[in-house]
Structure 1
Amino acid sequence: MREYQPKTENEAAAIIRDHAARGAALAVVGGNTRAGFGNAVAAEATLCSRELTGIVAYNPGEMVITAQAGTPVADIEAALVESGQMIAFEPMDHRPLLDTEGEPTIGGVFAANVSGPRRFVSGAARDSLLGVRFVNGKGEIVKAGGRVMKNVTGLDLVKLMAGSHGTLGLLTEVTFRVPPRPKTQETIIVSGLNDAEAANAMAAVMALPLDVSGAAHLPPTVAWTFLDGQLPQGGATALRIEGLAGSVSVRAEKLASAMRRLGPVMRLAEAESHRLWREIRDVKPYADGTMRPVWRVSVAPSVGHQLVAALRLEAGVDAYYDWQGGLVWMRMEAEPEGDLVRRFIHALGGGHATLLRATRAARAETPSFQPQAEAIALLSARVKEKFDPAGIFNPGKMG
């Protein structure tokens, strides 16, 4: 398959106009680190943003950065570290889980709305996004939003592009908020809780005035894979505290004291804490080199463990929990069991299940994205027709 790597926005627009005129499909990618994700449909060529690279504007005092879409996430993070700032939503690196190569790009992060452990307190990727430039399916260059948080011009358009998976246009530039980086962090680990007990414990912790920025439960089946086996083998409930050193120390001690009523407690200092949350973020237990199906399920935090318990009775499933239990990472032993998974989610009040990894044969049988309600599907189709009337962008990536 031919790959286009335009070096300018105008060059990208010309490529898109040519393909739109011919009705020829384009696979829109950034670093291609999520290769294989979605329900694949043949495209004539790949349109890649990786040559659209570089930080366009960054004044740390404004806490806003603008970068071309193909800029590596690592380059953005390096610039932010120097100024004591961060990408708030902690985007995961899909390469270990999906066994892909390439370099994650900032445009790809927003196109897929990639959000990690801090998402339940800091918001998703789209919540940090202030402005975008992109080329639509007509080959038109579009600008929406701006660099100032109070500027809401084009806000809906900005939100539409975040999480659109390249189905509405090729992102060429993004502007987003970059808040201060916490000076340090510590993680409290409570061992011995079952899934239901951990869900209750995490809910109780979130009601305390301790500003917990990470809450995950790692059952015994996965706990041993983290930190080279340093976590308790009876399961581990992890709670992160971030901020100034003095404040972190005081809040961590209060949290540890509260959690000792529930089970044995251990404390992870800054370096080990950083590593643990990176491994939670990047789904280390299931980055196993196989193609066993992996689901990313978003539900109400109170029902995540109920979903897993129900599925364990019907299918081979392993799981762990992030976002206070609201994000469930599940690996199936054989088949994706998509109908079963989504039926149980519906019975528990609804949510979203995305098939992130599976064999090509399994993808042919199972929709990767959560099927939309009829009214939403009709609205999505109208938006798609408006942005991409020839239907050339990313076939197989529509939710």
Structure 2
Amino acid sequence: MRITHARVIVCCPGRNLVTLKLETDQGLYGIGDATLNGREQAVVAYLEEHVVPALIGRDAHGIEDIWQFLYRGAYWRRGPVTMSAIGAVDMALWDLKAKAAGMPLYQLLGGKSRDRVMVYGHATGHDIDGCLEEVARHVEQGYRAVRVQCGIPGMATTYGVAKRAGERYEPADADLPAEHVWDTAKYLNFVPKLFEAVRERFGDELHLLHDVHHRLTPIEAARLGKLAEPYHLFWLEDCVPAENQEAFRLIRQHTTTPLAVGEVFNSIHDCRELIESQSIDYIRATLTHAGGISHVRRIAALAELYHVRTGFHGPTDLSPVCLGAALHFDSWVPNFGIQEYMPHSEETEAVFPHAYRFADGHFTPGDAPGHGVDIDEDLAAKYPYKRASLPVNRLEDGTLWHW
């Protein structure tokens, strides 16, 4: 089964999404997600100039050889652009192989380890009461796990909070980067009150998650983890910038709150020390940004040895293609923890018809051959690319900070 055509499809049905489509001489095609939020065109150029020409004529069944060719064969390795491009190719090849075999992707990976995949939703609010109403809405929809974020008094903007009640949180919505202001002391003094309010209203059975978004130093993160212990969070996510993997050892020494990290990771080398030192509990690397199914399953296999579970990044800055593939991976991987989920817009759902289904706080991937997600190219063409940028963060004195 030879690859005869490969092209990159960019569309913006509410936000920019990048899709790679591989076609073969047997009439089958596979698709992969290459979306890198705020840097979409960089991946497009990498694919079109350096990857697509090298794929034509290759055996689509040679997934591992193609992965090694694109990774080991390149002098400039790793990084989000390179690994997102490789991830899209790998995802499309697994889609093709499963279609050729006439089976859903999870079967090709080894079969299901569970009947359904638990997901968590996002509840945000400008204040605690607003966030609680969003949590209630998610609970009514059947969610068993909810991430909570709310506005901080004295701060004009707060990560994870939608501009208006009931809207999706979409950070990449400006032509040029917006500038937000951050104050660590105000955040640390206030956010435990949010956890307390959620527990008072919803009890102890709801899984409660929170994302710090890399804003703290290690000792500040340790303080937050300790303050959060009475509310037994499912996890505390991205509490410090993760370039310094050693930082998580200090946090671990001070708190039993479970730690999650990895949505910005691109390879096993970004998390190897974290996993081997058992400094984290959940690894959040995505199939798109971490080199596809072939590479992420290596990460998952290493993590399993150290009691670390998966908790893949999964908001709407990844397309339904990545979500579909992730749900098959989640169904198979033995050390599954949870899957992030933000509903896509109606326009996006129409562009990407899919087999996966949500019910009672869980997803099932469906039994269509492949990963079960397709693309309507005619409809996609009606939503042209629009440049969008993620914000940047500054402290109140003007110092540039982590966003």
Range of TM-score over shorter length: under 0.3
Please give the TM-score of this superposition, normalised by the length of structure 1: 0.27
